[in-house]
Amino acid sequence: MLTLSQVNAGYGDFQALFDVSLDVRSGEAVAVIGPNGAGKSTLMRVISGMIPAFGGSITMQDVSVLDTPAHQIVGMGIAHVPENRRLFARMTVEDNLRMGCFSPQFRDRYTERLEFVYQLFPRMRERRDQMAGTMSGGEQQMCAIGRALMSDPKILIMDEPSAGLAPVIVQQVFELIERIRGEGLTVLIVEQNVKQVLKVVDRAYILEAGTIRMEGTATELLESADIQKAFMGM
Ligand SMILES: Nc1ncnc2c1ncn2[C@@H]1O[C@H](COP(=O)(O)OP(=O)(O)OP(=O)(O)O)[C@@H](O)[C@H]1O
Ligand SMILES: [Mg+2]
């Protein structure tokens, strides 16, 4: 569904990604794991058009993403839940969700999509009139994921959805991911909770210093001594 081939990207003169190739098949959940500064968020940003690539190719269902204007990428079925959620703190939950349906092409499906999100996350329906910034961290993450789902994406890209949350809430975020998978959505997720994320994905890539160092099925990586040593403190 989503294929990256030899992608190079960065900021100005600084290169953060070096010849990154990866693919995500329809219905799959794939994780990108790596230390701080490895380029994980950069990778998510280049896929969703927030930053341009220096070179390489990215295709979504055989259509070039790099040749598509940034504002049209969400229309290709790619939705990005950015790092640190980026909610509008002083707007209500429902207004934040509405922002996910901002483009004219989604607006006529607003009511239907809102109902989908509220069914998936009943807590958001309860909190619909609450200011997003006053909700708990876990609820805010739910709202950010809900906002991304408003555009009816084919692939949901999540950048560290469990960051900054207490362990019990982290567990709830992983349950949300399983619920999203249950809806048949394709998922690409960046995570630092390596052990937990490998339990909810099919495959993963290890990104280090802007380069893919290793890839494998979740089971292979969970059993790998190198991964256990590097990421699980074992
Ligand atoms: N807007 C920016 N301008 C310049 N350099 C940037 C910018 N954003 C990120 N970088 C640099 O690019 C490199 C990769 O950063 P990136 O945010 O992709 O890492 P990351 O793997 O997501 O790290 P973390 O786990 O800390 O979120 C880092 O060296 C970072 O300093
Ligand atoms: Mg990051």
What pLDDT score does 231 carry?
Answer: 81
DSSP 8-state assignment for residue 131: B
CA of 42 to the centre of ligand 1 (A): 6
The answer to whether 78 and 153 are in contact (CB under 8 A) is: yes
Mutation choice for ligand 1 from 17, 36, 42, CB with most ligand atoms inside 8 A = 42
Ligand 1 centre to CA of 40 (Å) is: 8
Is the predicted pLDDT of residue 84 greater than 70, yes or no? yes
* The total number of structural domains that make up the chain: 1
pLDDT at 232 over 80: no
CATH label of the domain that carries residue 16: 3.40.50.300
pLDDT tens per residue, range 102-115: 777 777 889 999 99
The token pair at 175 is: 């349950």
* Predicted confidence (pLDDT) per residue in 45-80, tens digit: 999 999 999 999 999 999 999 999 988 999 999 999
Q: Is the pTM of this model over 0.85?
A: yes
C-alpha of residue 85 to centroid of ligand 2, in Å: 12
Ligand 1, atom 29, residue with closest C-alpha? 37
The three-class DSSP label of residue 161 is: coil
Q: pLDDT class for 230, splitting at 50, 70, 90?
A: confident
Using CA atoms, how far apart are residues 191 and 21, in angstroms rounded to an integer? 18
Nearest residue to 186 (alpha-carbon basis) of 79, 99, 82 = 79
Average pLDDT over residues 134-161: 93
What domain range is 210 assigned to?
2-231
Distance 51 CA to ligand 2 centre (A): 14
Answer yes or no: is pLDDT of 221 > 90: yes
- What average pLDDT does this structure show over 7-36? 96
CA dihedral 190, 102, 59, 194 (to 10 degrees): 10
- With a CB cutoff of 8 Å and minimum separation 6, the contacts of 192 are 33, 160, 162, 163
Q: Which tens digits make up the pLDDT trace of 167-215? A: 888 888 899 899 899 989 999 999 988 989 999 999 999 999 999 999 9
**Mean residue pLDDT across the chain:** 92
**Beta carbon of 13 within 6 Å of any ligand 1 atom:** no
